[in-house]
């Protein structure tokens, strides 16, 4: 039987308070701050018409938005891989592996992300990539390969900095994903381990066929929250001139002085992608529970 949506007095009161707060904020901006809105200028910074290609192409804000998506996707993939490995280390029978996992988690969780950005940037971009001659290798690639790297990562001149940003985000977010997966594994009842062991499963088979399928369902909500956190945390790499959404917003704001229009648009773009992720994970969670 379908449940009907009911509004209580508390719900109405909360909606009223939020509406009043929004109206007061708009009033302060328009009257007290004497701010003149110019929303008509925002669309041109989203898309522009290219007479050469005879088509609409992404402009500054959408370019930054796409860079944010690329950063977040790559960082999430590597953070999940790192988190899965370190979570296995954290629940390993080996004391040495548990120490490695614990050290990794404690170091990254207790390190300010801004400090980690500069540590990784100056070490990887300035030292490792330069010492290995990767810059010259990237420049020697064919135009087709460079175009492929540009579409899925970043333009070749910006690729070393992009890699540094991905590594930093993967290391930082991977520490939290490690604890999410570890908590999920350890939440499985001891009887599941004992029953699978009695059937002659090796430890890897226990994890693969018994523990991980149950763990996946349990960790989806916190894992979705961490993916969303990765998207939001990607804004911090703007300090090393990664041209993601926040960086482009700051550049655009300093050039046009349309402060509120720019940042409200950026907020909306972040909300679209994070809310979409929330809905997708929710649907996946429901599907896993049904099956």
Please name the residues in contact with 217: beta carbons below 8 A apart, sequence gap of 6 or more. Answer: 285, 288, 289
Cβ burial 156-179 (10 Å sphere, 16+ → b, else e) = bebbbbbbbbbbbbbbbbbbbbbb
Largest CA distance in the chain: 75
pLDDT tens, per residue, the chain with 291 residues: 445 667 687 878 888 898 998 888 877 777 776 777 788 989 999 998 888 888 888 999 999 999 999 999 999 999 999 999 999 999 988 999 999 999 999 999 898 888 999 888 888 777 777 777 777 777 788 888 888 888 888 888 888 889 889 999 999 999 999 999 999 998 888 888 888 888 888 888 888 888 888 888 888 888 888 999 999 999 999 988 888 999 999 999 888 888 889 999 999 999 999 999 888 888 887 776 665
Is 168 within 8 Å of 120 (Cβ atoms)? yes
Q: What is the pLDDT of residue 50?
A: 85
Distance CA 167, CA 234 (A): 11
Within 13 Å of residue 22, how many CA atoms lie on the same side as its CB? 6
Q: Hey, what are 238's tokens?
A: 């703007």
Q: What is the enclosing helix (H) or strand (E) of 273?
A: helix 259-290
User: Beta 55-58 vs 47-50: how paired, if at all?
Assistant: antiparallel
> For the segment 64-94, what is each residue's pLDDT rounded down to a tens digit?
999 999 999 999 999 999 999 999 999 988 9
> For the segment 105-131, what is each residue's pLDDT rounded down to a tens digit?
999 989 888 899 988 888 877 777 777
Q: What is the pLDDT of residue 1?
A: 45
Q: How far is CA 5 from CA 9, 18, 30, 50, in A?
A: 14, 20, 36, 48
Is 85 within 8 Å of 152 (Cβ atoms)? no
Domain 57-290 class in CATH:
mainly alpha
Domains of the chain, residue spans: 57-290
Q: Hey, what are 270's tokens?
A: 């972040």
């Amino acid at each position: 039987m379908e449940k009907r949506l009911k509004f209580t007095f508390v719900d109405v009161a909360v909606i009223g308070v939020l509406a009043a707060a929004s109206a007061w904020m708009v009033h302060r901006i328009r009257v007290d701050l004497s701010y003149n809105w110019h929303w008509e200028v925002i669309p041109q910074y989203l898309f522009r018409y290219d007479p050469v290609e005879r088509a609409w192409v992404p402009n500054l804000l959408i370019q930054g938005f796409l860079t944010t998506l690329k950063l977040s996707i790559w960082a999430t993939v590597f953070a999940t891989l790192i988190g899965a490995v370190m979570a296995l280390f954290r629940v390993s029978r080996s004391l040495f592996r548990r120490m490695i996992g614990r050290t990794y988690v404690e170091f990254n969780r207790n390190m300010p992300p801004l400090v980690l950005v500069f540590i990784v940037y100056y070490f990887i971009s300035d030292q490792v990539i330069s010492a290995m001659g990767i810059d010259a290798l990237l420049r020697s690639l064919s135009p087709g390969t460079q175009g492929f790297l540009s579409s899925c990562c970043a333009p070749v001149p910006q690729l070393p900095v992009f890699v540094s940003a991905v590594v930093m985000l993967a290391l930082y977010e991977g520490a939290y994903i490690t604890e999410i997966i570890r908590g999920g594994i350890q939440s499985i009842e001891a009887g599941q381990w004992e029953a699978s062991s009695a059937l002659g499963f090796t430890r890897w088979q226990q994890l693969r066929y018994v523990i991980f399928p149950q763990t996946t369902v349990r960790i989806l909500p916190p894992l979705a929250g961490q993916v969303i956190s990765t998207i939001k945390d990607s804004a911090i790499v703007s300090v090393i001139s990664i041209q993601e959404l926040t960086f482009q917003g700051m550049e655009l704001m300093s050039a046009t002085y349309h402060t509120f229009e720019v940042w409200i648009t950026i907020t909306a773009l972040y909300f679209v992608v994070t809310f979409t992720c929330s809905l997708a994970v929710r649907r996946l969670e429901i599907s896993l529970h049904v099956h």
